[in-house]
Structure 1
Amino acid sequence: EHEWAANYEILPGKEKVVSELRRLAKDADQIFLATDLDREGEAIAWHLREAIGGDESCYRRVVFNEITKKAIQEAFEHPGEIDMAMVNAQQARRFLDRVVGFMVSPLLWAKVARGLSAGRVQSVAVRLIVEREKEIRAFIPEEYWELFADLSEAGKPATEFVKFQVTKEAGEAFRPSSQAQADAALAKLQVATYTVKSREDRPTQTRPAAPFITSTLQQAASTRLGFGVKKTMMLAQRLYEAGYITYMRTDSTNLSNDAVANCRDWIESEFGKRYLPEVPRVYSSKSGAQEAHEAIRPSDVTVKTTSIAGMERDAERLYELIWRQFVACQMPNADYTSTAVVVVAADMDLRVRGRILRFDGFTRVQPPASRKEEEAVLPEYQVGQVLSLTELDPVQHFTKPPPRFGEASLVRELEKKGIGRPSTYAAIITTIQDRGYVNLQNKRFYANKIGDVVTSRLVENFPNLLDYGFTAELEEELDQVSGGQRDWKKVLTEFYQDFSGKVEKASGEDGGMRANDPTMTDIPCPLCGREMQIRTASTGVFLGCSGYNLPPKERCKQTINLISGDEVVSVNGDEEEESRILLTKHRCGRCHTAMDSYLIDSERKLHVCGNNPDCDGSEVERGLYKIKGYDGPVLECDKCGAEMQLKTGRFGKYFGCTSEECKNTRKLLRSGEAAPPKMDPVQMPELQCRKVDDTYVLRDGAAGIFLAASQFPKNRETRAPYLDELLPHQNEIDPKYGFLMRAPAQDPEGNRSLIKFGRKTKEHFVMTEVDDKPTGWRADFVDGKWLEEAAPVRKPKPKAKAKAKPKAKAKPKAKVAARKTPVKTDPEPSLASED
Structure 2
Amino acid sequence: MANPLIIVESPAKAKTLGRFLGGKYEIRASMGHVRDLPKSTLGIDVEHSFKPEYVTIPGKEATIKDLKAAAKGASEILLASDPDREGEAIAWHLAHVLNLKNPQRIELHEITPSAVEKALNALRPMNQDLVDAQQARRVIDRLVVEREEEIEKFVPIESWTLDAMLSKVDQPRIFSARLHSKQGVDEKLELTEESQVREIVAQLDGASYKVLSIETKDSMRNSPPPYKTSTLQQDASNRLRMKPNRTMSLAQQLYEGVELGALGPTGLITYMRTDSFRISDEASTAARRFITEQYGPTYARRDKIEYKAKGSVQDAHEAIRPTDVERTPDSVRAFLTPDLLRLYRLIWQRFTASQMSPARFAQTRVDIGAADYLFRANGSVLVFDGFYRVWERDSDNDEEKELPALAIDELLNLQELKPEQHFTQPPPRYTEASLIKALEELGVGRPSTFAPTVDVIQTRHYVKQEERRLSPTDLGKTVNDWLVEHFPDIVDTTFTASMEEELDDVEEGRRKWVPIVREFYQPFAKTLTKAEATARVKVPMRETGEDCPKCKEEGRNGRLVHRMSRLGEFVGCSLYPACDYIQGREGQEKAPPPEPTGEMCPKCGKPLVKRNGKRGPFVACSGYPKCRYVKREIDPADIIKDRVCPTLPGLPLHRGRQAGRDTAGGQRAPHGRPLPALRQAPGPPPGSLRRVQELLRLPGVQTRAGCAHPCAASHQGEEADGARGVAAGLKLTVSGYTLANK
TM over 0.5: yes
Indicate if the aligned counterparts of 2:228 and 2:276 stay in contact, CA closer than 8 A.
Answer: yes
1:784 corresponds in structure 2 to 722
SS across alignment from 1:260: helix
The structural deviation recorded for 1:143 is 3.7
1:493 aligns with 2:518: yes
1:45 aligns with 2:95: no
Provide closer, same or farther for how the CA distance between residues 531 and 196 of structure 1 changes in structure 2, counting only shifts above 3 A: same
The structural deviation recorded for 1:522 is 13
Residues 211-222 of structure 1 mapped to structure 2, 5 A cutoff: 211-222=226-237
Counterpart of 1:310 (choices 326, 335, 344) is: 335
Provide closer, same or farther for how the CA distance between residues 738 and 238 of structure 1 changes in structure 2, counting only shifts above 3 A: farther
Work out the CA distance in 2 between the residues paired with 1:720 and 1:833: 15
1:700 aligns with 2:725: no
Indicate if the aligned counterparts of 2:180 and 2:188 stay in contact, CA closer than 8 A.
Answer: yes
SS across alignment from 1:832: strand
Counterpart of 2:615 (choices 653, 676, 679) is: 679
Work out the CA distance in 2 between the residues paired with 1:560 and 1:418: 46
Residues 558-597 of structure 1 mapped to structure 2, 5 A cutoff: 558=579
Indicate if the aligned counterparts of 1:215 and 1:422 stay in contact, CA closer than 8 A.
Answer: yes
Report the AA paired with residue 148 of structure 2: E
Work out the CA distance in 2 between the residues paired with 1:314 and 1:701: 35
1:88 corresponds in structure 2 to 132
1:208 aligns with 2:146: no
1:162 corresponds in structure 2 to 175
Counterpart of 1:6 (choices 52, 55, 68) is: 52
Counterpart of 2:299 (choices 257, 275, 279) is: 275
Work out the CA distance in 1 between the residues paired with 2:210 and 2:737: 95
Work out the CA distance in 1 between the residues paired with 2:729 and 2:591: 46
SS across alignment from 1:507: helix
The structural deviation recorded for 1:307 is 0.8
Work out the CA distance in 1 between the residues paired with 2:508 and 2:72: 33
Work out the CA distance in 2 between the residues paired with 1:369 and 1:523: 45
1:455 corresponds in structure 2 to 480
Provide closer, same or farther for how the CA distance between residues 271 and 69 of structure 1 changes in structure 2, counting only shifts above 3 A: same
Work out the CA distance in 2 between the residues paired with 1:300 and 1:736: 64
Indicate if the aligned counterparts of 1:461 and 1:513 stay in contact, CA closer than 8 A.
Answer: no
Indicate if the aligned counterparts of 1:150 and 1:162 stay in contact, CA closer than 8 A.
Answer: yes
Provide closer, same or farther for how the CA distance between residues 441 and 422 of structure 1 changes in structure 2, counting only shifts above 3 A: same
Counterpart of 1:355 (choices 365, 368, 380) is: 380
Provide closer, same or farther for how the CA distance between residues 424 and 822 of structure 1 changes in structure 2, counting only shifts above 3 A: closer
Report the AA paired with residue 56 of structure 1: K
The structural deviation recorded for 1:275 is 3.1
Work out the CA distance in 2 between the residues paired with 1:305 and 1:831: 52
Work out the CA distance in 2 between the residues paired with 1:411 and 1:825: 47
SS across alignment from 1:136: helix
Work out the CA distance in 2 between the residues paired with 1:348 and 1:311: 60
Unaligned runs of 5+ in 1: 98-119, 549-555, 565-628, 631-644, 654-669, 681-698, 705-717, 744-760, 767-778, 789-820
2:252 corresponds in structure 1 to 237
Counterpart of 1:56 (choices 89, 95, 101) is: 101
Indicate if the aligned counterparts of 2:236 and 2:242 stay in contact, CA closer than 8 A.
Answer: yes
The structural deviation recorded for 1:384 is 1.0
Counterpart of 1:290 (choices 311, 314, 318) is: 314
The structural deviation recorded for 1:77 is 1.9
Deviations 1:739-768 (A, max 9, x none): 9xx99xxxxxxxxxxxxxxxxx998689xx
Indicate if the aligned counterparts of 2:304 and 2:355 stay in contact, CA closer than 8 A.
Answer: yes
Indicate if the aligned counterparts of 2:358 and 2:387 stay in contact, CA closer than 8 A.
Answer: yes
Indicate if the aligned counterparts of 2:618 and 2:631 stay in contact, CA closer than 8 A.
Answer: no
SS across alignment from 2:483: helix
Indicate if the aligned counterparts of 1:141 and 1:399 stay in contact, CA closer than 8 A.
Answer: yes
The structural deviation recorded for 1:303 is 1.2
1:832 aligns with 2:738: yes
SS across alignment from 1:702: strand
The structural deviation recorded for 1:442 is 0.6
Report the AA paired with residue 508 of structure 2: G
Counterpart of 1:398 (choices 423, 431, 441) is: 423
Work out the CA distance in 2 between the residues paired with 1:719 and 1:264: 58
Counterpart of 1:727 (choices 636, 639, 646) is: 639
Work out the CA distance in 1 between the residues paired with 2:450 and 2:61: 31
1:326 aligns with 2:351: yes
SS across alignment from 1:353: strand
SS across alignment from 1:408: helix
Residues 124-143 of structure 1 mapped to structure 2, 5 A cutoff: 124=144, 127-128=145-146, 132-143=147-158
SS across alignment from 1:247: coil
Indicate if the aligned counterparts of 1:153 and 1:388 stay in contact, CA closer than 8 A.
Answer: yes
Counterpart of 1:264 (choices 274, 288, 291) is: 288
Counterpart of 2:73 (choices 27, 41, 47) is: 27
Indicate if the aligned counterparts of 1:780 and 1:786 stay in contact, CA closer than 8 A.
Answer: no
Report the AA paired with residue 32 of structure 1: L
The structural deviation recorded for 1:703 is 6.2
SS across alignment from 2:383: strand
Deviations 1:481-500 (A, max 9, x none): 21122222222222111111
Report the AA paired with residue 176 of structure 2: K
Provide closer, same or farther for how the CA distance between residues 382 and 292 of structure 1 changes in structure 2, counting only shifts above 3 A: same
The structural deviation recorded for 1:150 is 1.9
The structural deviation recorded for 1:831 is 5.2
SS across alignment from 1:219: helix
Work out the CA distance in 2 between the residues paired with 1:522 and 1:201: 60
1:78 aligns with 2:122: yes
Deviations 1:449-484 (A, max 9, x none): 221111111101001221000011111111112112
Work out the CA distance in 2 between the residues paired with 1:69 and 1:475: 35
SS across alignment from 2:204: helix
Provide closer, same or farther for how the CA distance between residues 364 and 535 of structure 1 changes in structure 2, counting only shifts above 3 A: closer
2:578 corresponds in structure 1 to 557
- Please report the TM-score for the alignment, with normalisation by the length of structure 1: 0.64
Indicate if the aligned counterparts of 1:731 and 1:830 stay in contact, CA closer than 8 A.
Answer: no
Indicate if the aligned counterparts of 1:545 and 1:559 stay in contact, CA closer than 8 A.
Answer: no
The structural deviation recorded for 1:249 is 0.9
Aligned-pair Cα RMSD in Å? 4.2
Deviations 1:772-816 (A, max 9, x none): xxxxxxx9894334689xxxxxxxxxxxxxxxxxxxxxxxxxxxx
Report the AA paired with residue 557 of structure 1: A
Provide closer, same or farther for how the CA distance between residues 541 and 701 of structure 1 changes in structure 2, counting only shifts above 3 A: closer
- Please report the TM-score for the alignment, with normalisation by the length of structure 2: 0.72
Report the AA paired with residue 444 of structure 1: R
1:386 corresponds in structure 2 to 411
SS across alignment from 1:286: coil
The structural deviation recorded for 1:69 is 1.4
Work out the CA distance in 2 between the residues paired with 1:825 and 1:193: 90
Indicate if the aligned counterparts of 2:236 and 2:343 stay in contact, CA closer than 8 A.
Answer: yes
Work out the CA distance in 2 between the residues paired with 1:89 and 1:214: 19
2:167 corresponds in structure 1 to 152
SS across alignment from 1:56: coil
Provide closer, same or farther for how the CA distance between residues 146 and 826 of structure 1 changes in structure 2, counting only shifts above 3 A: closer
Indicate if the aligned counterparts of 2:209 and 2:412 stay in contact, CA closer than 8 A.
Answer: yes
SS across alignment from 2:498: helix
Report the AA paired with residue 832 of structure 1: T
Work out the CA distance in 1 between the residues paired with 2:78 and 2:229: 28
Work out the CA distance in 2 between the residues paired with 1:260 and 1:144: 49
Deviations 1:354-381 (A, max 9, x none): 1233333323332443657852222232
Deviations 1:627-662 (A, max 9, x none): xx55xxxxxxxxxxxxxx585956699xxxxxxxxx
Deviations 1:323-351 (A, max 9, x none): 22212222232232211101111122211
2:28 corresponds in structure 1 to none
Indicate if the aligned counterparts of 1:407 and 1:444 stay in contact, CA closer than 8 A.
Answer: yes
Work out the CA distance in 1 between the residues paired with 2:595 and 2:345: 40
1:567 corresponds in structure 2 to none
The structural deviation recorded for 1:209 is 1.6
Deviations 1:123-171 (A, max 9, x none): 21xx23xxx2222223233443322222111222x2x121212222464
Work out the CA distance in 2 between the residues paired with 1:787 and 1:311: 33
